[in-house]
């Protein structure tokens, strides 16, 4: 039976949000999209149309190295984050709501302080004479070099990015019907087989969403490798910054940014074939 008032309300609900996002979209257009277009424009107008700046990236002896390193570093961080987040998110689905709230708060902690403050905190903790090395020395390991190398950068980035892995994983896992596992075991599967054949495949949308998000965000990191790494860990954002503020070479910076944007868009397109973007962000996650 049709219900006219409800339909009208639904129509309003559809039109309403569109209006609500307009200010945000307008802001993005002015402060993000427009400058970005300028940067891309400068990368091909040098001053006449050419791909000179892009060719320059191949021959400048550093862009390719740093781009490759950025991708490798992002992969490492993504894998480490996934290994930490998967059991964590699983545990979140198994505990009582109050414990879950605590676990959720812990994972969201990074959002409560500025990235700079947190990164400097890591610097203090991890330096040669820091707390971590004092503890390691006390048990006979170390002191180890934990900063100004990949270890420091991985630790710093992993902590910042953990929420972006945990949230989509939890969102997916909380919707998995655990009775399926019980059923599998009752049909003779071992716990390991049941996990591999049932749980893992069902949790894959979360894994894909989480890894893609974390990987893409890793690509753009600036502060963490700058503070916890050395020039040998320099990532692409640092190179873009050097090109802008030391070399005033907006064209090459634009070309590098374009490369980064293309990588990101390709990854997002691939992800969207596996999992809906809304699921990736956990917006349809079942909250009790």
Partner 1 sequence: MLPKKLGVVAVGAALALGLSACGGGSTPESKPASETKSMTFVSFGGAYQDAQKKAMTDPYAAANKITMNQDGPTDYAKIKAMVESGNVLWDVVDADPFFAIGNCDKYAEKLDFSVIDTSKMPKDFVSDCAVPSMTYSYVLMYNKEKYPTPPQNWRDFFDTAKFPGKRALQNAAQGGGYEAALLADGVSKDKLYPIDYGRAEKKLDSVKKDLVFWDSGAQSQQMMEKGEVDMLLAWTGRGYNAVKNGAPFAPQWNENMAVYDVFMIPKGSKNKAAAMKFIAYATGAEAQAKLTETIPYSPINSDAKPTVDALIQSFLSTQPGVQEKGIVQDQAWWAKNQDEATQKWTAWAAG
- In the three-class reduction of DSSP (H, G, I as helix; E, B as strand; rest coil), residue 109 is classed as helix
Q: Rounded to whole angstroms, how far apart are CA atoms 47 and 250?
A: 12
Least CB distance from residue 66 to partner 1, whole Å? 6
Contact between 166 and partner 1 per CB under 8 A: no
CA 56 distance to own-chain centroid: 29
CB closer to partner 1 out of 46 and 93: 46
Contact between 70 and partner 1 per CB under 8 A: no
Q: Specify the stretch interacting with partner 1 by CB under 8 A; choose among 8-16, 30-38, 183-191, 267-275.
A: 30-38
Per-residue binding string, partner 1, 170-209, x by CB under 8 A, is ----------------------------------------
Query: Residues binding partner 1: what is the number (CB under 8 A)?
Result: 40
CB closer to partner 1 out of 79 and 241: 241
Phi, psi of 49 (to 5 degrees): -65, 120
Binding-site member from 89, 239, 260, 275 for partner 1 (CB under 8 A): 239
If you write DSSP's letter for every residue of 1-54 in order, what string do you get?
---HHHHHHHHHHHHHHHHHHHHHHHHHIIIIIHHHHHHHHHHHBSSSB--HHH
CB distance 236 to 230 below 8 Å: no
Q: Specify the stretch interacting with partner 1 by CB under 8 A; choose among 17-25, 103-111, 225-233, 258-266.
A: 225-233
CB closer to partner 1 out of 82 and 261: 261
- Measure the CA dihedral 248/63/164/273, to 10°: 110
CB closer to partner 1 out of 38 and 278: 38
Query: Residue ranges of the alpha helices (H) in the chain?
Result: 4-28, 34-44, 52-59, 63-94, 97-108, 115-126, 131-138, 150-173, 179-186, 191-194, 200-219, 223-228, 236-245, 250-274, 277-280
Contact between 223 and partner 1 per CB under 8 A: yes
Q: Specify the stretch interacting with partner 1 by CB under 8 A; choose among 59-67, 82-90, 178-186, 274-282.
A: 59-67
Per-residue binding string, partner 1, 250-279, x by CB under 8 A, is x--x--------------------------
Least CB distance from residue 4 to partner 1, whole Å? 48
Asked, as a colleague might, if the bond just before 213 is cis with ω within 30 of 0, I would say: no
**CA-to-CA dists, residue 198 to 110, 187, 202, 269, angstroms:** 32, 13, 6, 27
Contact between 244 and partner 1 per CB under 8 A: yes
Q: Rounded to whole angstroms, how far apart are CA atoms 153 and 233?
A: 8
Q: What is the DSSP letter of 164?
A: H
Binding-site member from 157, 227, 256, 271 for partner 1 (CB under 8 A): 227
Least CB distance from residue 20 to partner 1, whole Å? 24
Binding-site member from 234, 255, 258, 271 for partner 1 (CB under 8 A): 234
Contact between 247 and partner 1 per CB under 8 A: yes
Q: Which residues of the shown chain bind partner 1 in the complex (CB under 8 A)?
A: 30-32, 34-36, 38-39, 60-62, 65-66, 69, 116, 127-129, 148, 222-223, 226-227, 230-232, 234, 238-242, 244-250, 253
């Amino acid at each position: 039976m049709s219900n006219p008032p409800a339909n009208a309300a639904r129509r309003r609900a559809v039109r309403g949000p569109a209006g609500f996002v307009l200010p945000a979209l307008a802001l993005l257009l002015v402060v993000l999209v427009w400058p970005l277009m300028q940067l891309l424009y400068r990368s091909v107008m040098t001053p006449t149309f050419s791909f000179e700046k892009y060719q320059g990236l191949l021959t400048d002896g550093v862009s390719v190295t740093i781009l490759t390193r950025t991708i490798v570093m992002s992969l490492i961080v993504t894998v480490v984050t996934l290994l930490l987040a998967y059991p964590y998110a699983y545990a979140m689905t198994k505990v009582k709501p109050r414990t879950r709230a605590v676990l959720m708060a812990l994972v969201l902690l990074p959002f409560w302080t500025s990235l700079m403050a947190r990164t400097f905190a890591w610097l203090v903790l991890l330096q040669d004479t820091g707390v971590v090395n004092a503890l390691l020395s006390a048990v006979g390991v170390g002191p180890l070099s934990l900063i100004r190398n990949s270890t420091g950068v991985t630790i710093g980035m992993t902590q910042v990015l953990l929420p972006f892995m945990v949230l989509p994983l939890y969102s997916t896992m909380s919707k998995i019907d655990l009775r399926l596992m019980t059923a599998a075991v009752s049909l003779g599967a071992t716990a390991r087989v049941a996990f591999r054949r049932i749980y893992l495949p069902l949790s894959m949308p979360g894994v894909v969403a989480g890894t893609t998000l974390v990987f893409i965000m890793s690509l753009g990191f600036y502060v963490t490798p700058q503070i916890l790494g050395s020039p040998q860990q320099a990532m692409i954002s640092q190179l873009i910054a050097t090109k802008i503020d030391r070399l005033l070479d907006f064209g090459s910076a634009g070309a590098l940014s374009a490369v980064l944007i293309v990588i990101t868009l390709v990854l997002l397109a691939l992800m969207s074939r596996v999992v809906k973007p809304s699921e990736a962000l956990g917006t349809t996650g079942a909250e009790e």
